[in-house]
Structure 1
Amino acid sequence: MNRNFGFTLIEMMIVVAIVGVLAAISIPLYQGYVAKSQITTALAELNGAKTQYELILSGATASSTTDFTVVNMFFSGSQSNVCIYDVNPPASGVANKALVCQLNHVATPIAGEFVYLNRDLAGAWTCSTSLGIATKFKPSGCS
């Protein structure tokens, strides 16, 4: 007696359906985690520039465009974010959007959006984002 071993067409279709459902659930979740991590990376890059900003504001260092540029301030090595640092902070020290980072990650829903660090008169820093970034992607403490 000959016995055939293998999978039937129905069994294969069930497996394909299960894989399809799992992919439909996991891909959007994964893209959300990637977007969150990219905003966190941009915020980390901006946080690294706060010290230099404060030094320029206090007059401890001469401000020039070569001291405070994107090339010198990349900490994570992520070449996808474009960070702009205000090399001429206002004398009052109050600056909305003092440090700005544009997110240029094409494959995510936050491409082209901005993350800002703002400085108030007391020297406290706050984080904000452009309106196109959904609340679910923002780090805690960033409005």
Structure 2
Amino acid sequence: MNTQKGFTLIELMIVVAIIGILAAIAIPQYQNYIAKSQVSRAMAETGAVKTAYETCLNDGKIAAGACDLGWTDSNIIALTTPEPDTDGTNKTALTTNGTIVGTFGDNASADLVGATPKTITWTRTTEGSWSCGTTAPKKYAPAGCAGV
């Protein structure tokens, strides 16, 4: 009596087909997860500049080059407003109704870079409250930072 050892070709083909279907679903979902996490990370990185911005306003250090923004280089986003100088200070004067803008680039998800790189923008009112907005698609926007 011979007993079967191993798998038949059809069994192996079925397994490969199942793996292919799972991969076809999982890979796009993973890309969405990566983009969403990068937008959240960028929101936190640019949001940290708000503290330095407020401190500089309170201390009267609003002239160009007077405020240490505390910005460190990021591999997914560049601080474009206020633009930091090489020593980490502001290149332009700060205002009470200013903005903090980060633009996606470098290693950011392709959906965030594209032909027109997406941005994260923190906007300060004259009264001192901050609001967040992003040009990233809504599906990537974190809570508290409206997307388009």
Counterpart of 2:111 in structure 1 is: 109
TM-score by length of 1: 0.80
2:128 is aligned, of 116, 123, 126, to 123
- What is the total number of aligned residue pairs between the two structures? 132
What amino acid maps onto 2:40 in structure 1? T
Quote the Cα distance in structure 2 between the aligned partners of 1:79 and 1:6: 48
Quote the Cα distance in structure 1 between the aligned partners of 2:121 and 2:61: 23
Counterpart of 1:47 in structure 2 is: 47
What amino acid maps onto 1:22 in structure 2? L
TM-score by length of 2: 0.78
Structure 1 position 2, deviation (Å): 4.6
Identity of paired residues, percent?
Answer: 36
Q: Secondary structure at the match of 2:56?
A: helix
Quote the Cα distance in structure 2 between the aligned partners of 1:45 and 1:56: 18
Task: Please give the residue correspondences for 1:1-143 in structure 2 after superposition, counting only pairs within 5 Å.
Answer: 1-61=1-61, 63=63, 64=65, 67-68=68-69, 72-74=70-72, 78-86=74-82, 87=90, 88-90=93-95, 93-95=96-98, 98-104=99-105, 105-111=107-113, 112-130=117-135, 133-143=136-146
What amino acid maps onto 2:122 in structure 1? L
Quote the Cα distance in structure 2 between the aligned partners of 1:18 and 1:65: 60
Cα 1:116–1:37 change in 2 (3 A) is same
Structure 2 residue runs without a partner (length 5+): 83-89
Cα 1:5–1:23 change in 2 (3 A) is same
Structure 1 residue runs without a partner (length 5+): none
